């Protein structure tokens, strides 16, 4: 049987903060041969509005990211996406979803209640006796299972399908999210404190780590996003 | 907790990945994407590309390599060698590099590190330091307080040919203060010897800076990697020859570190 599947467009929002090609390439790489997906890096609000799915990356400082999102005229399109279709936030693109960041005392988009705080690890030692360094830079384990206290609901988020609990993902950050409602925590990671390394609500999913730099497990997460119909 | 990283280093010149035989004769080591993919499959945590091209004419040839690798291999990529300006950083990041490493240019103009970190963030700015244990004669030169500087390590530039008269530990501290997000520390005394890292140097720098330190220079056995992390306090270990010449795979190195109780990322979590 030969059915024609509709093509889907995934928009990677380009508001001028960093190179988004690796995100776009990873999403493209994650698509299966049978998927009908076009991935576009775009600074055009209409393209974001028309897309079926949206990826909101972000690197650098939160005040700069929020200012550029505003200046580029893409803020309304991102809010439209957040209200209407699957949206995946990455790194500062996750932090922007919350109410507020203490980095530069910056208001966020307020899509998920909570705030973003800095690691306070000065002088503290890791279990092996070495000092904690900030930013956290490198591979750490991401736990989505109920037994780790990742969420109040027992079922893992569908985006973790096929990804073993406790898999390693690549992090680079000095600030981390603190959602007000524990039900919005989709995974946790330990680095001096236990923090929310992924958050989710309805059609929103976001990670503090970089799936596009996290080898096979990162690609698996993007693949699940492409097939996610919340 | 955060895994300790293993980073293979690939030398690039004329648009190809090369490897030295006994550190002199270069021969083509194959397709950069294939090599990068192989290391990725073995579980490499990052890849570092070092542009060993002698002239700036050939320098741009690394851009297509980074583009090709970044389109196929999804782990962090660092590029170093001949990086001079903020514009160099921009072009390498646009080609797909995640981090860019300054060395001689930072010595000639420390402000470039501050500018690059200010523009693109500390997370993508690495400062590479080539350090060599100070000779008895050099230890007599006056330090910051006017007294003889004493034993320690000096910073060398231009591929290790020129002693620039800076203390390596103080320099690492200054570069972190200027915004370097990571220090790539190479012991010139140990580089190429396969006798192990200079652990005293690694420990001194690691204790001095608040940012991660990558130890480099001298790895000959898998125990050396353990020592660099355990005794040297390194957050990551970089090696070239033990992986290139097939003495060990990265998976074997990870296995060895894990058996020593060091947290490492395994491909099958």
Mean pLDDT of chain B: 90
At A4, the pLDDT band (50, 70, 90 cuts) reads low
Tell me the chain B residues in contact with residue A128 when contact means C-beta distances shorter than 8 Å.
1, 261-263
Does residue A2 belong to any structural domain of this protein?
A: no
Report DSSP letters for B100-152, one per residue.
EEESHHHHH-THHHHHHHHHH-GGGEEEEEEEEEPPTTGGGSB-TTSSB--SS
User: Which domain covers residue A80, as residue numbers?
Assistant: 8-226
Q: Is A164 helix (H, G, I), strand (E, B) or coil?
A: coil
Contact across the interface for A29 and B72, Cβ inside 8 Å: yes
Run of H or E residues at B49 = strand B47-51
Does residue A169 belong to any structural domain of this protein?
A: yes
Characterize the bridge pairing of strands B236-239 and B5-13.
parallel
Closest CA to A173 of A37, A62, A53: A62
Contact across the interface for B121 and A59, Cβ inside 8 Å: yes
Substitution target from A31, A92, A128, A210 for chain B, most B beta carbons within 10 A: A128
Average pLDDT value for residue range A180-193 = 94
How much is the pLDDT for B22?
45
What tens digit of pLDDT does each residue of B138-157 get? 999 998 888 999 999 999 99
Contact across the interface for B2 and A139, Cβ inside 8 Å: yes
Decide if A213 touches B, using CB distance below 8 A. yes
| CB contacts < 8 A (A, B) | 98
Average pLDDT value for residue range A94-105 = 97
| CB-count exposure of residue B176 (10 Å: 0-12, 13-18, 19+) | buried
Phi, psi of B17 (to 5 degrees): -85, 130
How much is the pLDDT for A33?
81
Tell me the chain B residues in contact with residue A170 when contact means C-beta distances shorter than 8 Å.
75-76
Residue A191's contacts (CB-CB under 8 Å, 6 or more residues apart) are A119, A121, A132, A136, A140, A171, B1, B2
What tens digit of pLDDT does each residue of B27-50 get? 666 788 888 999 999 999 999 999
What tens digit of pLDDT does each residue of A38-84 get? 999 999 999 999 999 999 999 888 999 999 999 999 999 999 999 99
- The question of whether B115 is a catalytic residue gets the answer no
Does the pLDDT at position A149 exceed 70? no
The pair of structure tokens assigned to B230 is: 């355990």
Nearest to A133 among B72, B212, B261 (CB): B212
Closest CA to B236 of B186, B194, B188: B186
Comparing B192 with A25, the larger pLDDT belongs to A25
Does residue A1 belong to any structural domain of this protein?
A: no
Does residue A3 belong to any structural domain of this protein?
A: no
How much is the pLDDT for A97?
98
At B53, the pLDDT band (50, 70, 90 cuts) reads confident
Beta strand ranges found along chain A (DSSP E): 8-13, 37-42, 53-56, 87-90, 98-101, 106-107, 112-118, 136-142, 167-173, 175-179, 185-191, 193-201, 204-207
End-to-end CA distance of chain B: 13
Q: Is A70 helix (H, G, I), strand (E, B) or coil?
A: helix
**Helix ranges, chain A (H):** 21-30, 45-50, 62-71, 75-84, 92-95, 215-226
Number of folded domains in chain A?
A: 1
Does the pLDDT at position A2 exceed 50? no
Considering A65, A91, A157, A184, which one is annotated as catalytic?
A91
Tell me the chain A residues in contact with residue B98 when contact means C-beta distances shorter than 8 Å.
22, 213
Substitution target from B74, B76, B90, B209 for chain A, most A beta carbons within 10 A: B74
Instruction: Assign domain B5-259 to its CATH superfamily.
Output: Aldolase class I (3.20.20.70)
At B19, the pLDDT band (50, 70, 90 cuts) reads low
How much is the pLDDT for A30?
95
Q: Is B66 helix (H, G, I), strand (E, B) or coil?
A: helix
Which residue of chain B is at minimal alpha-carbon distance from A218?
B74
Indicate which CATH number applies to the domain containing A37.
Answer: 3.40.50.880
What tens digit of pLDDT does each residue of B57-115 get? 677 778 999 999 999 999 999 999 989 999 999 999 989 999 999 999 999 999 999 99
Question: Could you tell me the maximum CA-CA distance found in chain B, to the nearest angstrom?
Answer: 55
Q: Would you list the domain boundaries of chain B?
A: 5-259
Decide if A135 touches B, using CB distance below 8 A. yes
Q: How far is B25 from chain A (nearest CA, A)?
A: 33
The pair of structure tokens assigned to A50 is: 């028309």
Run of H or E residues at B28 = strand B25-30
Nearest to B71 among A18, A25, A171 (CB): A25
How much is the pLDDT for A21?
86
Contact across the interface for B96 and A19, Cβ inside 8 Å: yes
Does the pLDDT at position A206 exceed 90? yes
- The question of whether B130 is a catalytic residue gets the answer yes
């Amino acid at each position: 049987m030969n059915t024609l599947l509709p093509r889907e467009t995934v928009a990677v929002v380009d508001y001028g903060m960093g190179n988004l090609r690796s995100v776009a390439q990873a999403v493209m790489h994650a698509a299966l041969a049978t998927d009908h997906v076009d991935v576009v890096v775009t600074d055009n609000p209409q393209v974001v509005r028309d897309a079926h799915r949206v990826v909101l990356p972000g690197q650098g400082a939160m005040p700069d990211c929020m200012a550029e999102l505003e200046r580029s005229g893409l803020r309304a399109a991102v809010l439209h996406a957040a209200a209407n279709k699957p949206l995946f936030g990455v790194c500062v693109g996750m932090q922007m979803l919350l109410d507020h960041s203490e980095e530069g005392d910056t208001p966020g988009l307020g899509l998920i209640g909570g705030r973003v705080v800095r690691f306070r690890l000065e002088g503290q030692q890791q279990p092996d006796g070495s000092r904690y360094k900030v930013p956290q830079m490198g591979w750490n384990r991401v736990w989505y299972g109920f037994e780790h206290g990742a969420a109040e609901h027992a079922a893992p988020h569908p985006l973790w399908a096929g990804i073993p609990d406790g898999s390693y993902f690549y992090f680079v950050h000095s600030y981390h999210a603190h959602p007000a409602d524990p039900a919005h925590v989709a995974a946790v990671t330990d680095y001096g404190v236990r923090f929310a390394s992924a958050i989710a609500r309805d059609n929103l999913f976001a990670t503090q780590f970089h799936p596009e730099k996290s080898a096979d497990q990162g690609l698996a997460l993007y693949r699940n996003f492409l097939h996610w119909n919340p | 907790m955060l895994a300790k990283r293993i980073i293979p280093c690939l030398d690039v010149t004329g648009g190809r990945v090369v490897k030295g035989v006994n550190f002199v004769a270069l021969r083509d080591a194959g397709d950069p994407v294939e090599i990068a993919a192989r290391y990725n499959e073995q579980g490499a945590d990052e890849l570092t590309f070092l542009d060993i091209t002698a002239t700036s004419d050939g320098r741009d040839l690394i851009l297509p390599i980074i583009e090709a690798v970044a389109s196929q291999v999804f782990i962090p990529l660092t590029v170093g060698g001949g990086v001079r300006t903020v514009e160099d950083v921009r072009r390498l990041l646009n080609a797909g590099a995640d981090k860019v490493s300054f060395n001689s240019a930072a010595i000639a103009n420390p402000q470039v590190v501050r500018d690059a970190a200010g523009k693109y963030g500390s997370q993508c700015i690495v400062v590479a330091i080539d350090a060599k244990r100070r000779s008895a004669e050099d230890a007599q030169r006056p330090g910051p307080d006017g007294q003889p500087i004493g034993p320690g390590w000096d910073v060398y530039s231009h591929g290790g040919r020129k002693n620039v008269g800076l203390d390596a530990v103080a320099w690492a501290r200054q570069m972190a203060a200027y915004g370097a997000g990571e220090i790539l520390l190479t012991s010139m005394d140990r580089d190429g010897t396969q006798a192990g890292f200079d652990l005293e140097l690694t420990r001194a720098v690691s204790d001095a800076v608040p940012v991660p330190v990558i130890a480099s220079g001298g790895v000959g056995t898998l125990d050396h990697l353990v020592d660099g992390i355990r005794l040297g306090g390194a957050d990551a270990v970089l090696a070239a020859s033990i992986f290139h010449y097939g003495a060990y795979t990265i998976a074997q190195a990870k296995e060895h570190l894990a058996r020593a109780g060091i947290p490492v990322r395994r491909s099958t979590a």
